[in-house]
Structure 1
């Protein structure tokens, strides 16, 4: 059976440890860029081998190579200028008798061609791209989001979380990387081709080059060559710090934080040159349609929700005890491939979920136990990428519930949801993410602004004076005016679902999304229908 493999990014410590794909986040904190010793840079291109490499010991210059240097013809290099020039006497001392009035020196500060160069009259200097080096300043922060890959022959761009590599695909994957800046704008990085015409190489974890046509399910590394990203004119001549997520690393020697952070000077055209980037990913068998499920360890039955009981000590619980209770009670599996399904409920994630419910957790993981709270367990198959989520209610048997007149229920958020105040005004509270479980007052309420104008129907969050729109949870029933396909988040048809018939009703959640050039409503998890198909 022919296998279609799709490639997805995954976090990996030292490119090895498996973690779920993280959503793109923007880090608002500024970082500081240290100015280089030279104050301008310049791009040069050689017509021939007319660059002579020199070294200096004290006050004496010596020629390292004469005539054709190691610099390749027609290769463009970024060099530092305005260095102390070589005097006429110094030039003549090393045999450059034709040098009148001295020679300008150019310095390549890093890489295999690092050194001081004198360019002869045959060298072409691209003065049009000269730019000033930025002064020491605070930089904006650009975070790497999920990688994308495209096939150069078809000019098709897709998210790395849904790349199909089939027998008809090219033998090497060419691609790009998408960055989201502090303003939420996406910037697609360009990759420069290697000598063999490709710009991305796929290797296994031992460094052996792999053919994407024949990848088996497993973890691999994508080596992106010569990554450039155009940030626009407004970022020209500014220092910018890039942060990589998902296990990816910068290979530049100047990278910090184990290769996760790189500060570069954006050129006069708004282009940042990031060099080589390596990113781990999973290759999944997309022909395998098996779903991942949670099951009870005690009964062996598949479950869609769960509950555990804990006993607080002096009114306190620890996130580690919550973790132990959850993972001892529930596991995820995928028929005969249970060993390939990873369950994710890391301790730090438990802490984050608790704090979203206004439960403060201290540095040692302890918190004052409420009578009950909900933690979402998630799982992901390493064979075909299938995911599962299990909301688990944690009941604390020796904590008395707070008396309240509210009747609450647990709902699943189906569309990213802004938090509103009692007047229907958006707040600065963190949004609720799609597929989060949230406790709300059972009956929706109508909110009105200060003038008494209706703002629509909302759910009140349990125990809080905060509200979310009903449409992001219960959705809105809409009638189809055409037969309609169900699509995945990557814009491809979701063949697991039959064609929806004209005249039937379907619940949609929240505002529409732009997917592959079409506005689509979400109708379920990884299920989308074109807006144009509804009345």
Structure 2
């Protein structure tokens, strides 16, 4: 099976006589695409992971858009993500060239691939969205046009901060692996993106494409519109202004009451944005910044927290939860996030019923996916509050994660292995003594062959170098007896 990869030729509004450049196939990766006129660099990563582009100073422009088609198992979700900064000129000279960075990412059935350009395009044509003169770049260094210098009368031929531009990505190909061979897929595009075939015959109605025997979609063209050029000279950050307190904040709080036990996502978001306004200082005053958080974003965050939202956007209100507001500046692309803790006095209590239990074997913390959380360890014989279940014989609610049993720390997103608390029943193959240390017996009891003994956690090595199972406080039985 071919590993996922992506490749494309990068051309911005090319002209057939002058603007064609073939770029090599590149592996799936986090991408850093820089053109016009700075050469692109590649930062390869594990091809089996989802990769996104990042930049040091200017956040990536996420052009995912809205109005996408319904997702299905045969839907390819396309996300172009680019940052364009305008050229900076002074005294008739371009002091800082324009740059374009970003990726073209596609996902199908859990497989995500993104294009990574190894070499910058030698010749690039960038057209203003308003139809102004095209801008040419050559060899990643020199601007080619009929003027040849920076001139205020004709400076529209340069990438200008604040202007919008359109680019064309041609020769795009995605490989989703032979498991998707010959599958007919539908490309789910943002509203500012259109798609066609380089040969005019591979893309069917509704942006459908039939993958080849290797699961490849080949020779596609994507046109991305309304890419605004950011102002590289503006370094002002985005913040959230609390209209109640008259101050900017990094953490928010909001209180509301549930109606018939429920809240509505849209109403909640509207109220939050009335209290918290994203702003950016410009010309000595706060200017409004676009809020990028949508109703769907809030719904997804709630459902990630285990709060179910119905088709009408209503949900049963817990007494406390968090909604994150995000914003992005149109001026310089700066972003900001504000987590808002929402309290609902008449909401459903989120305090989990719990019972104190003794941890019989040192235990690691895990998340809901069974992955280790940090390096902290719950010490042996310490007490922890675990989520209780009165119907269970041991009084604890058991969570099965990846086929293994865990108990949850009450009111925290942490889990510990069940065997470290309630133990595992094992059958003795030999008569066995119970030891206090490697040399001293804990008592005069002899455990009989065939009897069941509860052991806690994994085996431990005592001073004599032999392995023992803990069966109680300072009580051990040799592993060899099981």
Q: What TM-score, normalized by structure 1, do the two folds share?
A: 0.44
